[in-house]
Structure 1
Amino acid sequence: MLSVVIRRLIVAVPLMGVISFIVFMLSSLAGGSVGQAILGPTASAESVAALNAKLGADRPVLVQYVDWLRHAITGDLGLSVVSGVPVADTIASRIPVTMSLAVGALLLVIILGVTSGAIAAIRGGITGRLAEVLAVLGRGLPSFWLALIAVLVFGVNLAWLPVSGYVPFADSPSGWIQSLILPVVVLGVSEIALVAVVTRAEMLSAMRSDYVRSLRANGYPWKRIVFKHVAKNAAGPVLTMVSLVFVSLIGGTILMEQIFGMPGLGTLMVSATTKHDLQVIQGLAVFYTAMVVVVFLLTDIASGYLNAKARAR
């Protein structure tokens, strides 16, 4: 198990380097410049060129990347060329918003997805078919459409919930919950259906195995078989799917933050891209890559505890 963790960490370093390089190159190919973004479209070419020179944005792209990488290795992600604030501080201030959305949606997905999938597998019949139909509907409905409908119905017409903004937990726990309900539900709807289908399929596969049939033939209580054996054997693939869902949810927060006007990392990414703020874009690329590495590392560790053979490796 330790070797798996070490391999993950060894791969993470070059992976983050490659992704940061690709992001930097692609960002530099976008039209416009940071000087133009700051001064506006009416600024003269001379003033734009002067500002780009002052900010170092007129240097060759590879030189800029090497300079960024040299500082990033020491943990210094630089300063935002637009705001002048350290990139690390800017990202840290936005993390609670994005993680509140992603983790809240993940909990919703786990609770409803795993529960409904398990019920569909155990009961079968019309319950199982209903889970499949809901899964198709959940995956087929666009998230942006669901978000707009939710805003219109629950925010505008019924006025039950706020339709924009984010309330920090420290300021008001109840306000924090209310500001998250709509985006969290919309973000998790399609993933709930996916996890339900995977849970149902894996539990059905386990229930049809020979060892389960032998346990039932020997008179073992059905509930004990389900919770001790079937659920344990289905947990590995479901856990892997949940980790993939969490990565997808992190990406999905970008759209939700835009629709619901929440100041998270997604909003920061859009703003930095619009303003050609390469330092912030690079910092976000490193953060998102690190998040994916951590999620998969934790998944490997959890899978090891569920699977004795994985621990032995």
Structure 2
Amino acid sequence: MALEMLTFVIKRVGLGAILVLLVLTLVFSALHLVPGDPAVLLLSSGDGGAPSRAAVESLRTQLGLDQSLLNQYLNFLGGVFEGDLGQSFRTDDAVTGMIFARLPRTLELVLLATLISLVIGIPLGSWAARAGGKVDNVVSMATSFGVAMPVYVLGSIFVLVFSLKLGWFPAGGFVTWAQDPLGHLRVLILPALSLALGFSAVIARMTRSEVFETQNQDWVRTAKSFGLAPSTVFRRHVLRNSLIPVVTIVGLGIGTLLGSTVLAERVFNYPGLSSLLIDSVATRDYPTVQGIVIVIAMLFISITILVDICYGLLDPRVRN
């Protein structure tokens, strides 16, 4: 069993490494697939004025565009694996430092939203499947509403109600944990909830569907015939088997949340990685945009590998 699991993990990590290399190749190719000279494109002001030849040549040398395509690719890969994602055109700071100064804030927001979604979604879906009837109908209506409600609409409603009307939470901004732990949590609550409600609705619907199907299986009826307590049967034989597809949904959903933080961070003026991405796109800071895309892609691939490993732990058949 241990050897099977180790082999399974090695295969998934190897596949993840191939995907990372593919992503890096696509990101590198994007700059060279754009028609025209990338240096001219990056230096163009957008008002029709052409950059000077000296500036273009200087930028080509800075970016290594005067080298062969193979050397550029190898230098790019070497820089990424060494943690060097280049310099920001806007601030001239190291892109790696800029990203990792904001990345923990976005990850904290995503993880809190995921935790809230699991705490709401799994019990709600299980309750709907076990109770049935009116409870199931009410939960289905509530989850449909949650799935349909956009993040920016929820965020705006939360700001209006809980910040401006009731004054329970700040409308936005950021406070570090070292400055004020309670203030830090209060800043996180509303953006995390705006991300979590839709995700929790998806988890609840998936959990409800899987629990409803699993509780009618033969092995569940056999466990009940042995005289086991209903709570024991549900915990050991129903919920565990029902959570396998839910784990997959959660893994994919975390990747979706990484994208949805763009809206939440804008609504709540939260200084995370997504807001840095928007600012960099607006100012045409291409090295920063490129670096953020690489980091987010690597995060998504890592999350997918972890989900696959959890899948293998929950269901031994997956290892084969």
Q: TM-score, normalised by structure 1?
A: 0.88
Alignment of 1:26-41 (within 5 A): 26=30, 29=34, 33-36=41-44
Is 1:17 the counterpart of 2:21 in the alignment? yes
Contact 1:120 1:200 in 2 (8 A): yes
1:271-299, CA deviations, whole angstroms, 9 ceiling, x for partnerless residues? 22223323222221221121112112111
- 1:168 is aligned to 2:176: yes
- Which AA in structure 2 matches 1:17? L
- Of the structure 1 ranges 102-111 and 174-183, higher mean CA displacement relative to structure 2 is found in 174-183
- Which residue number corresponds to residue 143 of structure 2? 135
Does the 8 A contact of 1:55 with 1:81 survive in 2? Answer: no
- 1:231 offset after TM fit, Å? 1.2
Matched, 1:102 2:110: yes
- Report if aligned partners of 1:203, 1:231 keep a CA contact under 8 Å in 2: yes
SS at match of 2:130: helix
Q: Distance in 2 between matches of 1:176 and 1:54?
A: 44
Of 101-110 and 255-264, the range deviating more from structure 2: 255-264
Letter in 2 for 1:71: G
Return the offset for 1:65: 5.5
Alignment size in residue pairs:
308
Task: Give the counterpart letter for 1:54 in structure 2.
Answer: S
Contact 1:34–1:275 (CA under 8 A) maintained in structure 2: no
Q: 1:4 aligns with which of 4, 8, 16?
A: 8
Matching residue of 1:247:
255
- Superposed, which structure 2 residues align to 1:1-313 within 5 Å? 1-26=5-30, 29=34, 33-36=41-44, 45-46=50-51, 50-56=54-60, 59=65, 63=69, 66=73, 67-311=75-319, 313=320
Q: Verify the 8 A CA contact 1:8 1:293 in the aligned structure 2.
A: no
Measured against aligned partners, the alpha-carbon deviations of 1:219-259 in whole angstroms (never above 9, x if no partner) come to 22111101111111112111111111111111111111112
CA distance 1:182–1:158, shift in 2 (3 Å): same
Deviates more, 1:100-109 or 1:266-275: 266-275
Distance in 2, Cα, partners of 1:131 & 1:119: 9
Q: Is contact 1:27–1:276 with CA below 8 Å preserved after alignment?
A: no
Q: Which amino acid aligns with 1:13?
A: A
Whether the 8 Å contact between 1:19 and 1:285 is mirrored in structure 2 is: no
CA deviations on 1:126-173 (whole Å, 9 max, x unpaired) are 111111111111111222112112212222222221112111112211
The 2-side partners of 1:176 and 1:51 are apart by 45
Structure 2: gaps spanning 5 or more residues: none
1:82 match: secondary structure: coil
Q: Residue 168 of structure 1: SS of its match in structure 2? A: coil
- CA deviation after TM superposition for structure 1 residue 200, in Å: 0.9
Rounded to whole Å, the distance in 2 between the matches of 1:255 and 1:184 is: 12
The amino acid that maps onto 2:7 is S
Q: Distance in 2 between matches of 1:44 and 1:224?
A: 73
Contact 1:117 1:199 in 2 (8 A): yes
Structure 1 residues 173-199: Cα deviation after superposition (integer angstroms, max 9, x where no partner): 111111111111111111111100111
Letter in 2 for 1:116: L
